[in-house]
Structure 1
């Protein structure tokens, strides 16, 4: 399918899911009413006071959320408290070492990971720094269930596959609020501004609404620290890259009511593609106001400017994966566009707040609100058309121009009640959220303007000025709104056995206004009920088997060849697994098996591949394993294994029984970092990683295979007083590999060797 086809490249169309169960509605409604009544009775019976700690029988104790930050280099653990005890981890704060213990992503409550009946991995700031991960793609390369960098060395957008399904459109979140990517409008978040990255696998629609059944990735921003923080870092490396960063914050007043943080980074340099820059400016001011122990307001803002190019390239299978008829392979450094106008620019800004108030020991109210803005522009020659000569030495190209503007408003209101009904302990969450996504999308090509684009020699490329100015073939104003009401109850049936029940009713509306021709305007409204039921048993020695069933719902923006709006996609998953976290052992192991069905999947229209039809169903059945460990003083390790069988159950005749393109079904990884704790080499550290990615397919018929590959990473570092110096190398052998192919004419080279040296100082 050509890049100019609707809705976009190379992100697949937004997907949607709808699951209805009258029995589930009745059951959950009854549970919700019973819990609300019990909560009211518990509140009346206890005569509580603001800020008081809950009695033991009231369930999981309320804990004041920490506003601690990091800004540290790798290896700096969380501060100790009196007696050497480890402080309670905040679900939005730093992770001590590599092993996280709590998260608020899977349940929207402060829940220990060992009590969460769903597969989730937390990548903390120390691990991000140890791996010198400069993008979200790089930061998730050692996470189970995730295939990062589907479209290769693309500097514009982060691409992900979760359990076999695309998560780059509906599956990216920041601070629990969605980052919708559609058309050519997209967000990309700077990793230096992240405190932790949380990968939740499996459907999460019951709490978050529209989304893929594969899961989501929540990027948690750095927040103002309780203690003074001063941190600076400079570095540089491959392709002429150089950067400077700072992170400062702490208390503003002596009374402990006001805290601030200011984080920033500037980066300049090139990429593995000749003449393609990768420049960025990022600044993130934030502050926290805590008038008392029961109330907290944190304001989070950021601005980011990106200047880069189309670096993923759309290259033919023969000439990348396999030699072409002339026995040649295309250079990774080839700029298929033109250094003069291979352009991609983006400005994006976030402004929002997180408010929390505890009325008493039972009820807490939270409101998370944010407005997100992104404006981008792209103008470039694109391959994707194959060769123009029999010797396969010249690439056919076309010119593509797009400008997009996104406005996204979201608010999530939550009321949480922790109480006992006399028999069971409850953590009841009631929420109402709303999102409003507006996209102005302008796309044009040389085809629409009526001129041709010169082809390009892969042996001796010659560049020149643009052949013309593309004219639009699409000018749309797209809107998507969603209102959701959800209820979740985490019930302690015994001290060890927990039951999690949740239900959500969504009201979604999407509209497309055709501003160019006026004939393509369309829209539809959809309602959906999604639900989840899960159970987990916690043995006292750290073993926790669990089982869950959940559904998903995802509206689909766009129309088929007849102009009819697409129906929502639906999805459901059954997952069973076991978690193991022996007390004091310093490691966390998760094993999970899953079976996911996804219906109403879009697929190319055989009669006209520029358009799509909605008749697909895909099934993903697999197994995952994730180990995160801080085994000894200075030793940290991460290991992951994923394998699944991804097959098209319903579709066009040539799709049924086949594996969708772009998607490897087996991958595994291991990363180890060790810092010598004593002796003459004290504070010297080293380590590395290995990543294996299995084969995938480049065509619907599964006749063109993209082979598997193995990559090696390495790092050395040294800490001296407040200084830290480090050198990191990824793909240290500089292996040339193809990360995936979308078709026989759209293959993508993965990252070349990247070496980064950094020097930081903290005081």
Structure 2
């Protein structure tokens, strides 16, 4: 991501050996501080810009490589790499007498220029958004701006304006303004994404991108992060969403897109920042970010440490509580040299009281108190402990070639026991006109006129104790070469490794509770507990891809790629008692492709056409059994037409696209053998998206988006329609059981047709900065299947069906606000109000339960920086 980070009295890094003393000063500053100096206030209102909306060092960084040597040549290289114009206010020819030690590494543009001028006696000032002046007595001025115009992924060599794919970036400054604490909340700034509840066997972040599940399409610095846990944002530089099939870049999955978490990395400037947040929902959150150059280990060595501790309740949801802590140290060497090393570690520990919300009643949201908690407050738990270690080495050759190799080991420990509230699933029958019929369908099996006071809720215990781990190596070669006078940006990547999962579940039978008045403090006293067999799943895979962008002219680019994936999975279920063990395996070898054309009417804009493919193997989520082991991968394709434009010197990015994604052989349950899965369905999503992100003077920040998604089932094994006479299974006494099916024309689960987001900030009076935002999600269904009660008389009679019913979730609007003001040169006050109208809405739907969103709450925070 590109940025413009400028210094002034408010943001100058704390230099010298006293830097570590600022750690102790952080706590003292929180307890007491003085207003900002008059000079600081005056400087923050200078004509050249305004004070930064976030600390400059907290913004994303850019790699800059300028060789040592004459300063005039170095300045020319700096201009080319940053796009800034450098004006030299010195007598002609003077600059040629200066030498520079050069700069190589990850820097803000002002930091890189400062290092280039080190030891020369020269300084610089920011004239405007695109011009820097160098002179003998230049004075610093301020303008901090950022735009989402690049990502740190190796697979993307061009600015995002020239990437023929919808890419949304949520930068760190937006997350800070919104007081975001999780990846899930950061993604509310991206159109086309829906949040869903965790599945029974896999808790944690569960997403839908462009109508297709992205549960297994979450990455951390370009490597798959498949663990079942809720991800905190304390170590984020940015969150990037690449929409559309991306198997050619990332391998299996990615039907609707992928999410990449970009971690903070060590920098070559001294920095300390931190925050304290207190909330009306009993939130207590502390973060700290410390960066220290390690000059004793070399001029390019640096160490960075991010830590976090959070404890919070959920407004308008009794009992539910989150307790989480995190630590993320990283150390880098040789950042200003051709060969660079990085080692990082991430640990997030969570011990929370989970909330699976409310049950369905008659396939609808029940009319109950939104605070009702149906679990066991003292005996339900969610304990996760991911540990992720990454080592990376990069080398720049004399030719424009960079070799990067990353090695990662990660372990995702998990132990959970969560209550899923369900209305009992035993069918209830009635006799109407001498005909025996099913009054409703599982799990809401009560007659229409049943008294809710008598309804009992089944407390389904979802349990899992498991360790998942991954050992993965990724090596890439990035080269910019000319072939027949055509510039090529080539990426060659080879990656592979081993992924393992070993879940074991216990089945409990516990007493029911009341629908209207549950007691969350009931003693957890199961009437039975059955330990399930342990499953061992091992996947060995590798992928090889080649990507190329050809710049035929200044206005025409072609890009394409091909990848081959080898994905081999073995699943072994241990024998348990008299039940024998079992072994299943599946090997998939699958190519994927992408091709695109980019036309640039102007240098700051593009129009593109893109076609890409992806695949979903049966063992995509490291789960394989006899009913899907023989199934080939689902195959997907997407076509997309779009345009992207940069305005205001890349401070504002605007994009729009129209796309169509089709899954040609979707998996469905065989109606003649419900233990078998067959590939017969066709699913299609057509839609359009628009988005804009800007980071401009006067604290004018904006991120806005809208998505229209029309997802339907085009073909099904049933191809049924309402009031169909088809049925699946007969009942020997009462006739036909109800059945579930996904016929042609039915909509996708968790896919609202319309959704949008807005966040905007601007300067107010008396040095305050205000922010306002909203999210809209239209009505959606919790499942793409429909339910029909089919019945007949005991004696032979024509089979008839009652009308179809759906589990539908109503749409909603939510609104948020923010107010921020500097208290001193090192301290900002910030207040956020979430869900201003205290809207009761379902945030995370699931086919079996509904999780409400958080009610009205306020957070007051202090942000410290040195």
- Decide: shared fold, TM above 0.5: yes
How far does residue 388 in structure 1 lie from its aligned partner after superposition? 8.3
Indicate yes or no: 2:306 matched with 1:263: yes
Deviation string, structure 1 residues 433-485 (Cα, Å, up to 9, x no partner) = 00311001111212xxxx45333343252632222363233420111221111
Residues 585 and 524 of structure 1: CA distance in aligned 2, closer, same or farther (over 3 Å): closer
Provide the C-alpha distance between the structure 1 equivalents of 2:560 and 2:481, rounded to a whole number of angstroms: 16
Distance 1:97 1:569, change over 3 A: farther
1:68 CA displacement: 4.3
Match of 1:126 among 148, 173, 179: 173
Aligned equivalent of 2:747: 659
Aligned counterpart, 1:444: 506
| Secondary structure, counterpart of 1:274 in structure 2 | strand
Q: Is 1:311–2:373 an aligned residue pair?
A: no
1 CA distance for matches of 2:371 and 2:104? 48
The answer as to 2:187 corresponding to 1:140 is yes
Choose which of 117, 123, 130 in structure 1 pairs with 2:164.
Answer: 117
Q: How does 1:257-656 map to 2 (within 5 A)?
A: 257-272=300-315, 273-290=317-334, 293-313=337-357, 315-318=359-362, 321=365, 323=366, 329-386=367-424, 390-393=450-453, 394-446=456-508, 451-459=509-517, 461=519, 463-468=521-526, 470-516=529-575, 517-540=579-602, 542-557=604-619, 558-559=623-624, 562=627, 564-582=629-647, 584=649, 586-604=651-669, 606=671, 613-653=678-718, 654-655=741-742, 656=744
SS in structure 2 at match of 1:127: helix
Partner-residue secondary structure (3-state), 1:126: helix
For residues 90-113 of structure 1, give each alpha carbon's deviation from its aligned partner in whole angstroms, at most 9, with x where no partner exists: xxxxx96452221244x6244211
Compute the displacement of 1:410 (Å). Answer: 1.3
Structure 1 residues 319 and 506, CA, compared in 2 at 3 Å: closer, same or farther?
A: closer
CA contact (8 A) 2:377 2:520 kept: no
Secondary structure, aligned partner of 2:234: helix
**In 1, distance between residues paired with 2:584 and 2:172?**
44
Asked if 1:685 is matched to 2:743, the reply is no
Residue in structure 1 matching 2:232, options 185, 190, 206: 190
The 2-side partners of 1:213 and 1:642 are apart by: 17
Q: Deviations 1:85-142 (Å, cap 9, x if unpaired)?
A: 7699xxxxxx96452221244x624421111111101111101101111111111112
Q: 1:244 offset after TM fit, Å?
A: 1.3
Moved more, 412-421 or 380-389: 380-389
Secondary structure, aligned partner of 2:185 = helix
> How many residues are paired up?
675
Residues 213-253 of structure 1: CA deviation (Å, up to 9, x unaligned): 10001000011122111112111213211011111012111
3-state SS of paired residue (2:175): helix
- What SS does the aligned partner of 1:663 have? coil
The aligned residue for residue 76 of structure 1 is: none
* Runs (5+) with no aligned partner, structure 2: 1-65, 84-102, 110-122, 132-142, 425-443, 719-740, 787-803
Q: 1:330 to 1:612 in 2, by over 3 A?
A: farther
Gaps of 5+ in 1: 1-48, 71-79, 89-94, 324-328
1:670 aligns with 2:758: yes
* Structure of higher RCO (CA pairs closer than 8 Å, 6+ residues apart): 1
1:220 aligns with 2:262: yes
Q: CA shift at 1:314, angstroms?
A: 5.0
Is the contact made by 2:355 and 2:418 (CA closer than 8 Å) also made in structure 1? no
1:734 aligns with 2:838: yes
In structure 2, relative to structure 1, the CA distance for the partners of 1:240 and 1:672 (3 Å cut) is same
Q: 1:609 to 1:736 in 2, by over 3 A?
A: farther
How many angstroms does 1:256 deviate by? Answer: 1.8
Aligned-residue offset at 1:429:
1.1
Change (3 A) 1:263 1:85: farther
Let me know the Cα RMSD of the aligned residues: 3.1
Aligned mate of 2:858, from 743, 749, 755: 755
Secondary structure at the aligned position of 2:543 is classed as strand
Change (3 A) 1:156 1:247: farther
The change in CA–CA distance for 1:342 and 1:62 in structure 2 (over 3 A counts) is same
- Aligned residue for 1:278, secondary structure, equals strand
What's the TM-score, normalizing by structure 2?
0.73
